[in-house]
Structure 1
Amino acid sequence: MSRDLDQIAMLAVKARLRTRRVNGAKCRIRLAMMMEEKATGKPLPPGLSVHELRARLQPHWIALGYCESEWPSDRQLKYATTGR
């Protein structure tokens, strides 16, 4: 990981300790999106399906130490990215 990603990961760990369970899924999604943007140098393209989005964000959740049961559901992914 680059230095930027290391800093984001450390912020995530600190935020994870302070984040309420209610906001957890949305925070995990946003954090993984930021990490993906830092890793590729460009934001995620709009219009990705939930499955494509999950495939792109999954490695970041793994890198942050989230177990599979803590990953957001498809419904949470769709809501966090579209608002509906």
Structure 2
Amino acid sequence: MSSTRLSDAQIAAEALRRLAWDVAVPAHAVRVSVTRGRLTLSGELQREQQRTAMLEDVTRLFGVGSVADRTVVKVG
């Protein structure tokens, strides 16, 4: 019996790939870590729309149990 569960490294790689393809999310602005299927996002964004796009990119990834958004939107 084989498991279809993705490893944390596979989930992180897919999250980074999706973020890299989204022109609304600045390149290298978001850091991704995954522990037991829990995805944590951190970094600094320029606009709230970037946060929305980022979350849409990763929230429904296969294998993700939860998403912790620790990004900060820079004001000013």
| Smaller-chain TM-score bracket | 0.3 to 0.5
Structure (1 or 2) with the greater strand fraction: 2
- Which one has a larger percent helix, Structure 1 or Structure 2? 1
TM-score (norm 2): 0.37
What is the TM-score with the length of structure 1 in the denominator? 0.34
